[in-house]
Structure 1
């Protein structure tokens, strides 16, 4: 009986680790109009459950013309929904000002059973965030 329970727990933990490893990686999104505006998002999800985010904005006629914003914290996944959190004492400072607390994103990839020629880019779609500009944004895995 103990052996059966141990085996089940091991299989369960391997499944969770495999899902996290699949989601971990670098994501990016670039929105630009040639010669006028540029908005870039870069997100790194580390396998140890931490993340770093960088937002770069360059707007023609903007004040200031270029803006860099950073965020960091921890992430976890359950049922393909990634939940982000930032500890105000540890993760937020003069450089890392973006608070990702209670932000969520859905991990989207082509299903293993899908044998069609349809191309599905692996991405995170932000569902909810305190940062209004992040809701609904797709960030693609590179």
Structure 2
């Protein structure tokens, strides 16, 4: 009986780990208009449940012209939703200033039952955040 319970716990923990592998990885988005304007987003979801976010913008005529913004913290997945959190003491300093505490993104991928030739890029679509410019932004898995 002990072996059965141990085996059951091992299998369930492996399935949880496999599910986080589905979400973990690098996500990018680059928007540009020639050399005039560049906006880039990079999000890395680590398998240990931590994340790092970098936003870079270079706007011609902007003040300031170049801006780098960073955020980090923890993420958890439930169904196809990724919820982000940040600890005020651990995850914030002079460099990491973005507060992801109320941010949620939807994991979008092609349904495995869809046998059509339709191409669906795997992405995270932010739909909730206190960071106003982050809402409705899609970042694509690399």
SS for the counterpart of 1:97 is coil
| Distance (whole Å) between structure 2 residues aligned to residue 3 and residue 115 of structure 1 | 40
1:26-37 mapped onto 2 (5 Å cutoff): 26-37=26-37
When normalised by structure 1's length, the TM-score is 0.93
Q: Which runs of 5+ in 1 are unaligned?
A: none
| Distance (whole Å) between structure 2 residues aligned to residue 94 and residue 105 of structure 1 | 25
Aligned residue in 2 for 1:138: 138
When normalised by structure 2's length, the TM-score is 0.93
| Distance (whole Å) between structure 1 residues aligned to residue 11 and residue 125 of structure 2 | 29
Q: CA RMSD in A?
A: 1.3
CA offsets per residue over residues 41-97 of structure 1, 9 Å max, x none? 000111111110000011110000000000000111000100100101000000000
* Pairwise CA distance, 1:3: 5.1
| Distance (whole Å) between structure 2 residues aligned to residue 46 and residue 95 of structure 1 | 19
1:17-96 mapped onto 2 (5 Å cutoff): 17-96=17-96
Greater shift, 120-129 or 12-21, is seen at 12-21
| Distance (whole Å) between structure 2 residues aligned to residue 103 and residue 9 of structure 1 | 31
| Distance (whole Å) between structure 1 residues aligned to residue 4 and residue 102 of structure 2 | 37
Q: Which runs of 5+ in 2 are unaligned?
A: none
* Pairwise CA distance, 1:4: 5.0
